[in-house]
Structure 1
Amino acid sequence: MNVNKILGLDLGISSIGWAYVQEDSKNPENNKIIKLGVRVNPLTVDEQLNFEKGKPITTNAGRTLARSARRNLQRFKLRRSNLIDVLKKNNILKETDLLAEVGKNSTFQTQELRAKAAKEQIELSEFARVLLLINKKRGYRSSRKAKNDEEGQIVDGMAVAKKLYEENLTPGEYSYQLLQQGKKQLPDFYRSDLQAEFDKIWDFQKQFNPEIFSHELYGRLQGKNRNATWKELEIPFSLVGIKQTGTMQEKKAEKYFWRSEAVKKQLDFESLAIVFQEINSNLNNSSGYLGAISDRSKELYFKNQTVGEYLFHQLKVNPHTKLKNQVFYRQDYLDEFEKIWETQSKYHKELTQELKGEVRDIIIFYQRKLKSQKGLISICEFENREIEITENGKTKKKTLGLKVAPKSSPLFQEFKIWQVLNNLQFQNVDNQEVFPIVLDCKQSIFNEVNVKGKLSAKDVLDLIGYSGKEWKTNFKEIEGNYTNENLYNAFLKIIASEGIAFPKEFKLTIDDEIRVSKINASSEIIQLFVKEKLSGLGIDTSVLDFNPELDGNDFEKQSSYQLWHLLYSYEGDDSPSGNEKLYELLQKKFGFRKEHSKILAEIVFPQDYGSLSSKAMRKIYPYIKEHKYSTACNYAGYNHSKNSLTKEQLENRPLKEQLEILPKNSLRNPVVEKILNQMINLVNEVSKEYGRPDEIIIELARELKFSAEERAIMTSEINKATIQHQKYAEILKKEFNIPAPSRNDIIRYKLYLELANNGFKDLYTDVKIERGNLFTEKYDIDHIIPQSRFFDDSFSNKVLVPRSANLKKGNFTAFDYLEIEGKDKLEKFLNIIKDLYDKGAITKAKFEKLQKKGVEIGDGFIERDLRNTQYIAKKAKEILLGITNYVTPTSGRITEKLREDWNLVNTMKELNLEKYRKLGLTETVINSKGEEKQRIINWTKRNDHRHHAMDALTVAFTTHNHIQYLNYLNARKNEAHKAHKIITNIENNITEVIEKKNGSKQRRFKEPVKNLRAEAKKHLDEILISHKAKNKVVTRNINKIKKKGSVIEKAELTPRGQLHKETIYGSSKFLKTKEEKVSGKFDVETIQKVQNERYRNALLNRLQEFGGDPKKAFTGKNIISKNPIFLDAERTDHLPETVTLAWYETGLYDQKSGKS
């Protein structure tokens, strides 16, 4: 079938352009445009900007936070209500009892009762008030998975703090005692104890050098880390730095010796600087939110106080003390509750043990576990099946299957490494030959990254014995096994804590953070060392051995997998540290002592997931070492490339009549979900109206092709370039008299500035460019690699050169042209560009292109541009293949080239010019060539949504031949190229040579439709923009209620979005003013609005003189300019012709803007 119906889609963030066309491959004269259209999917400003900037989508984040706060408040009120009911039911509270503080001097009465209740009898009604106060704040409960470095760490060392207090020791003195006794593991210390040690040493050493130990220096040292501390002390202490000698343990002991001595005798400045560095480093580790909570808990212990007693003591000292942000552990509140209940139960028989359990465990301190979110985890793409279910009378398809595995799983980590290694290639720098990696090399690299984590390209080359100067790889770095890396870091810390010396080949120093990636030895040596030392400590060394190829339950029973799973899944317990049960399990299952378990408990694996289940990965794993991922999947019985079917398979597979809307929250990004659902709706409607398309060609906006990180970088670069271009445009207007600088003018100026470090001499002739002739025909913008050989119109492929040199260069690359010019010129050229690159004047990309020989020009530039690696691109293609057999991606670069060749540039401007001219929004400007042109003021094609339809039209007529031709441009002139014949044939079929006005010839693509520009304008003129309605007020939801073992389903209408602006508080009166000329309209009501009292009275008098008739009083011969109104007896001051009116209007007040 030669005639095809093609749907072209231009998929953007907030709009979709579409074009439905007919294409006849045998008779192009039958090609025609059937319909064009645009669907606008309005996003909020925040949605669009955040998506473009790569930020998390937080459309309703503010409302979600507010709703969460309301829920917390409601739950508190519910607890309070339940508590009051229980207290009344048990005769502790009467209906007449007051629960508020009433009367004089009663402000802190309840706090006083709370403090008193821990030791003395109080009345039952007062006891009820105390319980209600405790119910308001229940304390901090630890959660391992909610780890935040800024919050610091929990300190659980009350026994140590007690010893320091009783024996009057500093942390440094106590640590040195432990090291002297042969102890290897040092405890954690409270921040307050460390700060006390710092102050004690400072005060003691200050007596020897009071002028150096100033108050200002003390202030500057607070909160500094190790390096910043040394920097602050470098000048006052005249530091030069000292190098410690000996083993790691000896160096450690020496530092603690200095700390213990610093409170007893004078130390030299070098040693003292190290002491302050160490203490500040410890303080930084214990600082933050959690460190402050630990310190408060410690104070309660030493003062033998409850939370209530501690807070009331502060109020007695200072009634204005802020209590709000003083957070305590949940356990501290539980201890207080126990003490108060036990004390009061001695005096009140109503306070039974049963009632205590109900009040404590069911009402005040009850906290349900977080609901499982496993339902949100994706289903494995291989291990799944589809079933049909009926909901509300509608039949829907539902996918069931195994959930994908966590990324931190040891299986996923190893699987991912092999997947990357199979794509690793080595390229010879000289001859550009590419060599795939052999299995032995893969295994060597795997062994390293599986233990040490990621390796850079240089490290990879060094590992297999290749020189970085002669070889390069196709990866900047190889991602390693971060699960093993974290575990080995912990194992090394455990070994170090036991005082075991590391081998010399490890090359670790005491100042190094112990990390496996910093060790110079091979992974094999590290593994043997760790296994030997852990075995000596009584730890099960099988935790180091992971075998991904074990069958059945043996896989999950292996110790290494169980250790990972325990650390990954453990959420916390009710102990102050939140990890006591974890410590017990680690000791019971693997032999880790508590001090070792504390190190392991610090590992928190991210809650990220892969795309395959464990079952699928285990089936593929035996083949992944030797084969690429797609081949390994085939061997395992999986069809990896579901969309890459044969022509026969494509034509015989069943297609859907209509595409199904994506279920709500089925994608992790709400913006992507909105875009794809709008695409589905549009394709469904177009197919219904004009028939199912034989092929869909789709172009994605560049924002949709990039990851969040890439979008953030791109947005930043675009913003910088925009500011820079605006600055250059102003320079061109002022210094070069170009009234309306074009984009090409700005690029020409930028290329000129690039040459500043070369004295503004061009790179081909090394002759200075005359600034006055910069915008004349004496100079050209040249493509370093000619466009006839490589489709690249980027800034990095352009240079500014004399026209004569450009004509002489022809179709040569810059390198080949200079080589023909002579050895001396080439050598000089290479030295110049090297100097420019070293000085940062040109980018690496331009530097490499300037050195590229013609024989080195590769293919695949467009192919790389078309790689749809991002999730949205793959998902869009997957969805569209449900309704058509062929989905072809194209790119913005191809569309731009075809739009230019097909004379569709500025079409939108022409369509709008007359409309804007009538509105007086056009201007006549003179361009850099001195030509007069009419343009729309501040015009951008984005002012008209129809430009998306024009792009979609270009996309619809884009064929495989266009893409292939641009991808293999270099093959046209290279007869040895494998694609030479194909590209030559394509060139003869789809391109033509035209003669330009200046007599030069240019090859361009043939128009797919005769008089395409006129046809396009005709169809664009007929477009009615379709906007997605945002008027949905409610959503129908099914609420499920569990009741007496059954589930009751109830249909509810749930409101969507905001009911009103959150800043509206109510109506207010706003002052309005207006300048008004005195005229016949000035009746009594209007004159009463005159702001100036003198003017107002004078006007009222004039009006009264003429019987209240404003026309007689202020028009004709009595107009103010002819018959002035004097304001004084001397007749020197008169009323102006224009006065200010002022009045009040009632309206709503917006707090954010401060406007009505």
Structure 2
Amino acid sequence: MTYKLGLDLGTNSIGWACIDNNSKKIIDAGVRIFQEGVDRTTSGSEISKNATRRLKRQLRRQYERKCQRRDNLTVKLKEYQMFSDDSALMFYAMNPYELRTHGLDSQLSKLEFGRVLLHLSKRRGFKSSRKSQGEDVKKDTAFKEELRRLPEEIKANNCRTLGEYLYSLQVKGEKVRCRHTERKLYEQEFELLWEKQSSYYPELTQEMRDDLRDHDIFFQRPLKSVASLIGNCTLEPNKKRCPKSAFEFQLFRILEQVNRLNYKNENHDEIKFYRTPDEEFSPETKDRRDKLIALLKSKEKCSFKDIRKQLKLEEADFKIEQNDDDFLIGDKTSHSFRKIFKKTWDTYSDVEKEKILQVINFAHDNSWLRTYASEKWGLDEKAVKAVVKIALEAGYANFSLKAINKILPFLLDGLNLHDAKVKAGYESSRGERSEIEIIKNIRNPIVSKTLYELLALVNRLEKTYGAPELINIEMTRELKASKKQREDIRKKNYENKRINEKAADALTALGKTPNNEAIVKYKLWQECKEHCPYTGFRISITDLFSSAFEIEHIIPYSRSMDDSFMNLTLCHVDENRRKSNRTPFECYNGSPQYDEILQRIKVLPKAKQRKFMLKEIDDDFASRQLNDTAYMSREAVSLLSKYKVQPSKGQATAKLRHLWGLNSVLSQSSEKNRNDHRQHAIDAIVIALTEVKTIQKLSRYSKYDRKPTLDRFPAPWEYFRNDVSEAINKLTVSIRVNKRLRGQLHEETFYGYTGRKNDKKMPIFRVRKNIEDIKLSKIDEIADPKIREIVKNAIEEAERREAEKKANAYTTQRDKSAEDTKVAIEAFLPTKDGRKIPIKKVIIYIPSGNMIELPGRTNNKTFVAPGANHHIVIYRYKDNKGNVKQGGEVCTFFDAVKRFRHGEKVIRKDLGENKEFLYSLSINEMFLLDVDENEFSLDPQNYKELSKKLYRVQKISSSTQITIRRHFEATLDEKTPCPYPNTLKGIKVVVDRLGRITKAND
């Protein structure tokens, strides 16, 4: 069977479609949904799954080591008669800040001095390692500023130590906690206190001081070597990857960028700063290329504006493949050193520079580095401080130093990276790498996750239908972007959503229907300050929604295929007809009107202004649309190198989907239904049918009719929309089920047992919570009645002020800062002397029957909530009257792991007497609801009917309630059924990767 395969790749989905172009039919289509390759924070920012686990592991280790240090110190304090179990209550009741102050001038008892030492070990301040200070502290400017300012405040208050300063604040009633402090302040205070107290106690020897200081109070483990974690070179497997701070890599990156750069000169000839092995540079191009390389070697980065100026190419339009930035990266390492060594740096030989770099990289002690920099390099105090604070580029390259040195000569000659690797004796083609090797070498977790799923899907399709004759691939912007770019996209999408909501509210207030076209028109109206950019006519709100003004493509759609907001503006209908199929430059250049237009567009975004001034566009858009060389596309092509693969951009997909009437397949409107996973299959069908001739045909129609309608633009074949609708309606979405016992065992909050039970004989636990986290409906859980009433009144007052603020914000065009800033809850506990103590946290009582006791934490028992549920077992039993019923038994993730560790079956089928196991259900497993086991058929011919009854498990509550939703729903509907086991009727099924339904083998 010969067919074309269309693939729509997303960060957590793949839509696919097999099209037989000869017989004009859709062979098959489907959607695969899987978990994204990263975790998301509450704000939506991404963080790798490894980073999440690593952070939690680091916190556990820090906590355990802190406890270990405290326990070790306590043992030694007992040995030195500075602590006693018999006097523990009195010991901990002493004010450590007061003792730290008095101990500077007068004698403390041994117990009091022991209390001081234990307090210093508990709050010992921040100490940065040389390797982390450049990155971590540099990122948090406020943190760094607080560390710098604190010693000045101590001196300004005539205090000798941090403890004395904090005690002076405590006496005034000011807070002393939640301050960022440096370790050296505590170390200085320790020395002063020990010197004074040892004058009263001769037994406090020098050896004792050194032992307590270096092994208990201020002990710091040396940084663990990360050499074993550095990946191996992709070209020299036995060599480790090169640090990015290495001079060789800095030059490698400069050349790799330059060798992808090209521009058009005044004659519109394309000039390339790279060549093939058979080509040679012209003298002029070589000279400019050499100047550019020298320029980048002298800077940290260089904007294209500066490059044009330095190369005297003011009119050049630079393009660099695979790069959306407006600058090129230079030699970051040399730039950092040049700021320290000034002009002297460029007089050093390569050997001397390398030695300086090695000293910086391998120095772990700041004191040693200060001495070395001063004595060996002859630097002044200011330069020495800069050396200590230097932050070289972190991370490692893909290649080893050996491979880079072998490739560099060919990059210097102007070859691109691929040709340079071939010349250096590495890989003759990308296809020689194995599929798994390609994925393993991808360090982007989002991309690698999608490619794993892609590989498995294509292999399964080949086994079922044979190899496709052509694969068309389209992917989301997120898959093509770096992490920083994905974060920018997320923020931009959020901001666009806010703007659209504001526009919709404004339209509703004006009595207009806020559909997509009206919202776009309103946003463009605001953007151009209520004036037509072309004619200067003022546009009233009445004119805006009349036929006098219409949405216009700045660069004609038929020539750019760009229907994005950045290519749209408003234009008077008559002027739009006059402009016709031309760019603003082509239509108005040389006329006084063009000068007026250029003045009016200064209120528009820079990107739009450039479109108004663009002198030439690439009219060969059809081939450009089907040739996207972004990172994700290249890796997908490599992965499927044994097939004929055509990566493509997605700008035409949305237009064709609309013109072929496919948006209404899943909704009544003409807009794409993004709440239905099956939209990805529709996109895949369009992608499979997107060819150069289709794009060219779309161009011809767009040239004469800006908005071609369905009856003017032909579908691929007769009854095409009906065929798509039929394929989609019988489609069953395949969702990856993850039953791996890997994740958080329990919730993070620790609870204490009160020793009491409520009226229902349920144990009561206590926990401290921020008052901001307490809702009025849970106010009765606060333990203290007096505080409960105070907090209740404070929350009610905060809610009242919040409502007023929102109302005011709405009447003032919904000010963003007013919306985002939450009103604080202010609660105070009055004292007998008239003071008001702020209430930040309260103790609440929580009755619970499923808390888990954690062994070996502290002397007091510690409990945690079990967290997520792993599965529920559905069983059949007979009640006391002999009636057959169904029940459910929930297994938490904690219990599932416990069973696995004990060698037991995770899913228990032996439930005891009078309980017959039926099946188990986990998150994302599939269920045919209200289907009789004896009457149903899983024949693919019945999929259209089965699709209506196919649900997936969304959530399992501890009360055995099961939340389910339709297999294709991307969001949870409020009308979604949430049955209990006794009302759950149907059959558990499995949906494989291609959407085939089989009965579950439970």
TM range (shorter): 0.5 to 0.7
For 2:594, give the aligned amino acid: L
Aligned residue among 282, 289, 306 for 1:459: 306
| 1:255 equivalent in structure 2 | none
| 2:952 equivalent in structure 1 | none
1:115–1:897 Cα change, 3 Å: same
For 1:77, give the aligned amino acid: C
Aligned residue among 942, 952, 956 for 2:674: 942
Matched, 1:40 2:33: yes
| 2:16 equivalent in structure 1 | 18
| 1:108 equivalent in structure 2 | 95
Matched, 1:485 2:289: no
Aligned residue among 59, 65, 74 for 1:75: 65
Return the alpha-carbon distance in structure 2 between the equivalents of residues 290 and 1072 of structure 1.
42
Return the alpha-carbon distance in structure 2 between the equivalents of residues 808 and 345 of structure 1.
97
Matched, 1:368 2:221: yes
Return the alpha-carbon distance in structure 2 between the equivalents of residues 483 and 641 of structure 1.
33
| 2:599 equivalent in structure 1 | 835
Alpha carbons 2:264, 2:317 under 8 Å: kept: yes
Structure 2 unpaired stretches of 5+: 274-283, 321-325, 760-774, 779-844, 852-863, 866-958, 960-1002
Matched, 1:616 2:469: no
Alpha carbons 2:557, 2:706 under 8 Å: kept: no
Considering only CA atoms, is the larger Rg found in Structure 1 or Structure 2? 1
Alpha carbons 1:993, 1:1001 under 8 Å: kept: no
| 1:333 equivalent in structure 2 | 187
| 1:956 equivalent in structure 2 | 688
Alpha carbons 1:757, 1:841 under 8 Å: kept: no
1:1021-1100 → structure 2 map (5 Å cutoff): 1021-1032=729-740, 1034-1035=741-742, 1056-1057=743-744, 1059-1060=746-747, 1062=749
1:367–1:655 Cα change, 3 Å: closer
Matched, 1:559 2:352: yes
1:334–1:405 Cα change, 3 Å: same
Matched, 1:887 2:645: yes
| 1:869 equivalent in structure 2 | 630
1:672–1:348 Cα change, 3 Å: farther
Return the alpha-carbon distance in structure 1 between the equivalents of residues 223 and 484 of structure 2.
31
1:818–1:603 Cα change, 3 Å: closer
| 1:420 equivalent in structure 2 | 257
Return the alpha-carbon distance in structure 2 between the equivalents of residues 467 and 109 of structure 1.
69
1:811–1:447 Cα change, 3 Å: closer
TM-score normalised to structure 2 length: 0.62
Structure 1 unpaired stretches of 5+: 154-283, 385-400, 493-529, 532-540, 547-557, 574-578, 644-652, 820-825, 911-934, 973-990, 1036-1055, 1074-1143
Return the alpha-carbon distance in structure 2 between the equivalents of residues 827 and 634 of structure 1.
53
Overall identity of the aligned pairs, in %: 27
Alpha carbons 1:9, 1:696 under 8 Å: kept: yes
Alpha carbons 1:752, 1:800 under 8 Å: kept: yes
Q: Using the TM superposition, give the Cα deviation of residue 11 of structure 1 relative to its aligned residue in structure 2, in angstroms.
A: 1.8
Alpha carbons 1:796, 1:843 under 8 Å: kept: no
Q: Number of residues paired by the alignment?
A: 753
Alpha carbons 2:246, 2:333 under 8 Å: kept: yes
Alpha carbons 2:6, 2:471 under 8 Å: kept: yes
For 1:867, give the aligned amino acid: D
For 1:416, give the aligned amino acid: R
1:936-1015 → structure 2 map (5 Å cutoff): 941-959=673-691, 962=694, 965=696, 1002=712, 1004=714, 1007=716, 1011-1015=719-723
1:1062–1:796 Cα change, 3 Å: same
DSSP-derived class of the 1:697 partner? strand
1:691–1:57 Cα change, 3 Å: same
Return the alpha-carbon distance in structure 2 between the equivalents of residues 37 and 996 of structure 1.
33
Alpha carbons 1:297, 1:329 under 8 Å: kept: no
1:34–1:861 Cα change, 3 Å: closer
Q: Using the TM superposition, give the Cα deviation of residue 625 of structure 1 relative to its aligned residue in structure 2, in angstroms.
A: 2.2
Q: Using the TM superposition, give the Cα deviation of residue 685 of structure 1 relative to its aligned residue in structure 2, in angstroms.
A: 4.6
| 1:1114 equivalent in structure 2 | none
For 1:943, give the aligned amino acid: N
DSSP-derived class of the 2:596 partner? helix
Return the alpha-carbon distance in structure 1 between the equivalents of residues 85 and 497 of structure 2.
72
| 1:445 equivalent in structure 2 | 292
Q: Using the TM superposition, give the Cα deviation of residue 768 of structure 1 relative to its aligned residue in structure 2, in angstroms.
A: 8.7
Return the alpha-carbon distance in structure 2 between the equivalents of residues 801 and 950 of structure 1.
34
Q: Using the TM superposition, give the Cα deviation of residue 563 of structure 1 relative to its aligned residue in structure 2, in angstroms.
A: 0.8
Q: Using the TM superposition, give the Cα deviation of residue 582 of structure 1 relative to its aligned residue in structure 2, in angstroms.
A: 0.7
| 2:348 equivalent in structure 1 | 544
Return the alpha-carbon distance in structure 2 between the equivalents of residues 684 and 138 of structure 1.
58
1:758-773 → structure 2 map (5 Å cutoff): 760=532, 763=535
DSSP-derived class of the 1:489 partner? helix
Alpha carbons 1:837, 1:847 under 8 Å: kept: no
Alpha carbons 2:126, 2:180 under 8 Å: kept: no
1:293-692 → structure 2 map (5 Å cutoff): 294-295=151-152, 310=164, 314=168, 322=176, 325=179, 327=181, 329-330=183-184, 332-333=186-187, 336=190, 340=194, 344=198, 358-384=211-237, 401-429=238-266, 431=268, 434=271, 436=273, 438-464=285-311, 466=312, 468=314, 470-474=315-319, 476-492=326-342, 530-531=343-344, 544-546=348-350, 558-571=351-364, 573=365, 579-587=366-374, 589-592=376-379, 596-630=383-417, 631-639=419-427, 642-643=430-431, 670-687=445-462, 689-691=464-466
Alpha carbons 1:908, 1:941 under 8 Å: kept: yes
1:599–1:35 Cα change, 3 Å: same
For 2:335, give the aligned amino acid: E
1:22–1:483 Cα change, 3 Å: same
1:1065–1:677 Cα change, 3 Å: farther
Structure 1 window deviating more from structure 2 (107-116 vs 438-447): it is 107-116
Return the alpha-carbon distance in structure 2 between the equivalents of residues 753 and 296 of structure 1.
50
- Residues 46-76 of structure 1, C-alpha deviation per residue, up to 9 Å, x if partnerless? 728866xxx4427798997676555433322
Q: Using the TM superposition, give the Cα deviation of residue 460 of structure 1 relative to its aligned residue in structure 2, in angstroms.
A: 3.1
DSSP-derived class of the 1:608 partner? coil
Alpha carbons 2:581, 2:703 under 8 Å: kept: no
Alpha carbons 2:98, 2:167 under 8 Å: kept: no
1:695-844 → structure 2 map (5 Å cutoff): 695-729=470-504, 740=513, 742-747=515-520, 760=532, 763=535, 783=553, 785-795=555-565, 797=567, 827-838=591-602, 840-841=603-604, 844=607
Q: Using the TM superposition, give the Cα deviation of residue 483 of structure 1 relative to its aligned residue in structure 2, in angstroms.
A: 2.0
Return the alpha-carbon distance in structure 1 between the equivalents of residues 508 and 172 of structure 2.
67
Alpha carbons 1:8, 1:952 under 8 Å: kept: yes
For 1:1014, give the aligned amino acid: N
For 2:10, give the aligned amino acid: G
Alpha carbons 2:74, 2:83 under 8 Å: kept: no
Alpha carbons 2:38, 2:49 under 8 Å: kept: no
For 2:687, give the aligned amino acid: V
1:693–1:48 Cα change, 3 Å: farther
RMSD: 5.4
DSSP-derived class of the 2:243 partner? coil
Alpha carbons 2:97, 2:167 under 8 Å: kept: no
Return the alpha-carbon distance in structure 1 between the equivalents of residues 522 and 486 of structure 2.
27
Aligned residue among 24, 30, 45 for 2:23: 30
Alpha carbons 1:1071, 1:1145 under 8 Å: kept: no
1:607–1:569 Cα change, 3 Å: farther
1:723–1:430 Cα change, 3 Å: farther
Return the alpha-carbon distance in structure 2 between the equivalents of residues 455 and 45 of structure 1.
32
- Residues 969-1003 of structure 1, C-alpha deviation per residue, up to 9 Å, x if partnerless? 6xx9xxxxxxxxxxxxxxxxxx9999999999946
DSSP-derived class of the 1:368 partner? coil
DSSP-derived class of the 2:72 partner? helix
Return the alpha-carbon distance in structure 1 between the equivalents of residues 355 and 6 of structure 2.
52
Alpha carbons 1:620, 1:636 under 8 Å: kept: yes
DSSP-derived class of the 1:943 partner? coil
Alpha carbons 2:533, 2:570 under 8 Å: kept: no
- Residues 830-863 of structure 1, C-alpha deviation per residue, up to 9 Å, x if partnerless? 233223223x25865466457657xx65435863
Return the alpha-carbon distance in structure 1 between the equivalents of residues 578 and 186 of structure 2.
85
